[in-house]
Amino acid sequence: MSHMPESRTAPLVDPFGRAVTYLRVSVTDRCDFRCVYCMAEDMTFLPKRDVLSLEELDRLCSAFIAQGVRKLRLTGGEPLVRKNIMSLIRSISRHLDSGDLEELTLTTNGSQLARHAAELVACGVRRVNVSVDTLDPVKFKAITRWGDLAKVQEGIRAAQAAGLKVKINAVALKGVNEHEFDDMIRWAHGDGMDLTLIETMPLGEIEPDRVDQYLPLAEVRQRLGERWSLVDIPYKTGGPARYVEIRETGGRLGFITPLTHNFCESCNRVRVTCTGTLYMCLGQEDAADLRTALRASESDGPLQAAIVEAISRKPKGHDFIIDRRAGRPAVSRHMSVTGG
């Protein structure tokens, strides 16, 4: 991909004085799984013309990097099912070489990792997050609808063999995996991987039992604390997880609690969908269209201006609550749209 030299501009600061240094970009809405809390089984995907081309995604990421973004996470859908995704990752890696970008990483379901791990490392990717909600193959198939746990575990082993650090993300689901967390800790920490538990979020019209599957992590933490020694640590990766160290394993366990603990004060991130829509907050509907600015001009001027305008509207926090009376999600779009 050929590019004009990028010039640094003023860093992005929101109305509350928070610098936006972390960008999550969904590179596709498609996925080879259909996880029950993320997608409907019969998802209708976006027409190709609506989705940003790899060239446009590169321009968009580069514009944010020129405005002070230091950490870039690629998400989906499943980012590694996007055709020719490695050409985008190779191109963006120039910002790692120049020192303008500190970290390039991705969140993946692991199904394609065995194929791409070595090249990801060659492009400067140092760690990946892999979503695994259960270690029971039958349950895994039920949660993901189409996924194969053995293939994901093979991908994780390939990633580690290639030199990638792997962190496991698990969504805590009441009545589904709540009795597996001890086993997941032993598995992840036994293989040198951090584990992060995530509260289910009220996004998208998915299944009616979503409210019943809501499991507060405060409760999980209390239960885990009866069996393990959990030590609070100041460790941060730039995201919203709060970490403890488990004394018995020496490994880290993270908690992401958007519902019971608002982590908004220190929010340094924004998300862009694969159609070029910028969400200033995962838990708000307010958004900005960057695709029009991208397609309006060869120059990045309109795009940079659209980004600055949008960041000036970044809210102080989100209003995530699962409304048990109405049984409605707080935000109507599917999780797969904003990539987590």
For each of the chain's 340 residues, which pLDDT tens digit applies? 545 545 677 889 999 999 999 999 999 999 999 988 788 889 899 999 999 999 999 999 999 999 999 999 999 999 999 999 999 999 999 999 999 999 999 999 999 999 999 999 999 999 999 999 999 999 999 999 999 999 999 999 999 999 999 999 999 999 999 999 999 999 999 999 999 999 886 555 545 555 678 888 999 999 999 999 999 999 988 778 899 999 999 999 999 987 655 667 888 999 999 999 999 987 778 899 999 999 999 999 999 999 999 999 998 887 654 444 444 555 566 666 666 5
Q: CA-based Rg of the chain, rounded to a whole angstrom?
A: 19
In a domain, 320, yes or no: yes
In a domain, 51, yes or no: yes
Is 124 known as a binding-site position?
no
Is 144 known as a binding-site position?
no
Is 297 known as a binding-site position?
no
In a domain, 6, yes or no: no
Is 123 known as a binding-site position?
no
In a domain, 178, yes or no: yes
Is 77 known as a binding-site position?
yes
Is 24 known as a binding-site position?
yes
Is 71 known as a binding-site position?
no
Q: How many domains does the chain have?
A: 1
26 Cβ contact list (under 8 Å, min separation 6) = 74, 75, 76, 77, 79, 271, 272, 273, 274, 337, 338, 339
CB neighbours of residue 163 within 10 Å: 14
d(CA 243, CA 234): 7
The upper half-sphere exposure of residue 85, i.e. CA atoms within 13 Å in the direction of its Cβ, equals 25
Is 38 known as a binding-site position?
yes
Is 107 known as a binding-site position?
yes
In a domain, 266, yes or no: yes
Say if CB 319 and CB 328 are below 8 A apart.
no
In a domain, 327, yes or no: yes
* CATH code of the domain covering residue 256: 3.20.20.70
pLDDT of residue 214: 82
Is 281 known as a binding-site position?
yes
pLDDT of residue 333: 61
In a domain, 59, yes or no: yes
pLDDT of residue 201: 67
pLDDT of residue 84: 98
Is 61 known as a binding-site position?
no
Is 165 known as a binding-site position?
no
Is 184 known as a binding-site position?
no
In a domain, 212, yes or no: yes
Say if CB 140 and CB 147 are below 8 A apart.
yes
17: left (phi over 0), alpha (psi -120 to 50) or beta: left
Domain that holds residue 196: 22-338
